[in-house]
Structure 1
Amino acid sequence: MDNALKNPALATAAQTTLRIVIGFLFAAHGWQKFFQFTLDGTTAAFGQMGVPAAGLVAPVVATLEIVGGIALILGVLTRIFAVLLTVNMLGALFLVHASAGVFVEVGGFELVLALAAGAAAIALLGAGRISLDRFILPRLAA
């Protein structure tokens, strides 16, 4: 971080890269829930995993992931969506994945923890200089 503090261009590149990559992953998972698994399939899977109110939670999560992911990519309402996505992943971690251990190939929490940490970092750092927030909501971006 010392180099980033001395070089604002490096900090901007790091923030932008993190935001775009984490946003892409969330958008891809939201897209998957809508179009590959379908909302009915996602709802059924959530129910089998023990997610409470799966019929309500599945479409909310799918929408949050696709819309929130795109918002992160663009840098729009970044901190708000990053907080919501962090909470989403912490819910997935504790409700579904924690009991399976760390590794994703056995249903573990490594991916959801990494996504939660990435989203939390974005919430703490903000959108950065290369974002729509900088122009639309300069106080939120700061």
Structure 2
Amino acid sequence: MITRLQPIGLLIGRVVLGVVFIAHGWQKFNVNGMEATAQGFEGLGIPAPTLSAYFTVGAEILGGSLLIVGALLPLAGLWLASVMLGAMYFVHPLSGAFFSQEGGYEYVLLLAALSIAIGFSGGGALAVDSLWLNKVGDKKAEEPARVESVA
């Protein structure tokens, strides 16, 4: 029973996490604007604030989209986790509070861990990665075995 439900559980996890990341990226890109986001990053002491802003927004929007469709999951997971670990270092340091309502690192730690977990989960049967890998596996299974002669 669990095996049959696993693809649905992974799909729900991928979609929800992807939507959260896309919403945060869209807020930085469209609502606040990239210039304001870069200025905010500069005020937080984040190095190369403009480059960091584009890296972050790219990770959140593109990485979140990749999570939703289940494509390039390990790369998307690492990209998103790196952004969250950067947020934990620069914005929500471990030396501060734990709970997010107190400005702590709880939320960004959770997002980083979920990004890694889903990124390396394989995404389930309903992920593009799995569908593509299954097709590659099917093609390899159809190929006749080569017999090499020993001279």
Residue of structure 2 equivalent to 1:106: 102
The CA distance in 1 between the partners of 2:75 and 2:122, in whole Å, is 9
Deviation of the 1:137 alpha carbon: 4.0
The CA distance in 2 between the partners of 1:74 and 1:123, in whole Å, is 12
Deviations 1:37-76 (A, max 9, x none): 1101110111111111111100111111101101100111
Moved over 4 A (4+): none
Residue of structure 2 equivalent to 1:57: 52
TM-score (norm 1): 0.86
Q: Does 1:130 align with 2:129?
A: no
Preserved CA contact (<8 Å) 2:7 2:123 = no
* Amino acid across the alignment from 2:83: N
Map 1:25-40 → 2, pairs under 5 A: 25-40=20-35
Preserved CA contact (<8 Å) 1:79 1:127 = no
CA RMSD of aligned residues (A): 1.9
* Amino acid across the alignment from 2:57: A
Preserved CA contact (<8 Å) 1:97 1:109 = yes
% identical equivalent positions: 37
TM-score (norm 2): 0.81
The CA distance in 1 between the partners of 2:133 and 2:72, in whole Å, is 8
Map 1:37-52 → 2, pairs under 5 A: 37-52=32-47
Residue of structure 1 equivalent to 2:114: 118
Number of aligned residues: 135
| Alignment gaps of 5+ in structure 1 | 1-5
* Amino acid across the alignment from 2:50: G
The CA distance in 1 between the partners of 2:134 and 2:25, in whole Å, is 28
| Alignment gaps of 5+ in structure 2 | 136-151
* Amino acid across the alignment from 1:56: L
Deviations 1:7-54 (A, max 9, x none): 212222221111111111111111111011110111011111111111
* Amino acid across the alignment from 2:13: L
Residue of structure 2 equivalent to 1:3: none
